[in-house]
Amino acid sequence: MSMKRTNVYADPEDLAIIKEAAKRRGISEAEIIRQGIHLAAMANRVWDEPLFSRTFEGPGRTPSKAEVRDTVADAVRREADPGGGTAA
């Protein structure tokens, strides 16, 4: 991946923390700064597509806490017993 050089102003206390973390982790200060830039870029990205592309059938209202709990519990039971609960 090609990189582009840029200059930024940073708080001296932040730079001291970065310097310490780089030494502790055995990586360059620049790598920590690149990771931070990437996190900031992703946090501010505007996506072209929605996060979920599928729609789900439902009652057309927000489910209650009990309905969510029961649905999750049913899914966990099905996953734990994929054979359908056959008795021995």
d(CA 41, CA 60): 35
Q: Please determine, for residue 82, whether its predicted confidence score (pLDDT) is greater than 90.
A: no
The residue to which tokens 């620049």 are assigned: 30
d(CA 10, CA 18): 11
CB 19 within 8 A of CB 33: no
Encoding tokens for residue 64? 């209650």
Q: What is the pLDDT of residue 84?
A: 62
For the full predicted model, state whether its pTM sits above 0.75. no
The residue to which tokens 């990189």 are assigned: 3
Tell me the angle at which helices 29-43 and 12-25 cross, rounded to the nearest 10 degrees.
110
pLDDT digit string, tens, across residues 30-72: 999 999 999 999 999 888 877 766 676 777 888 889 999 999 9
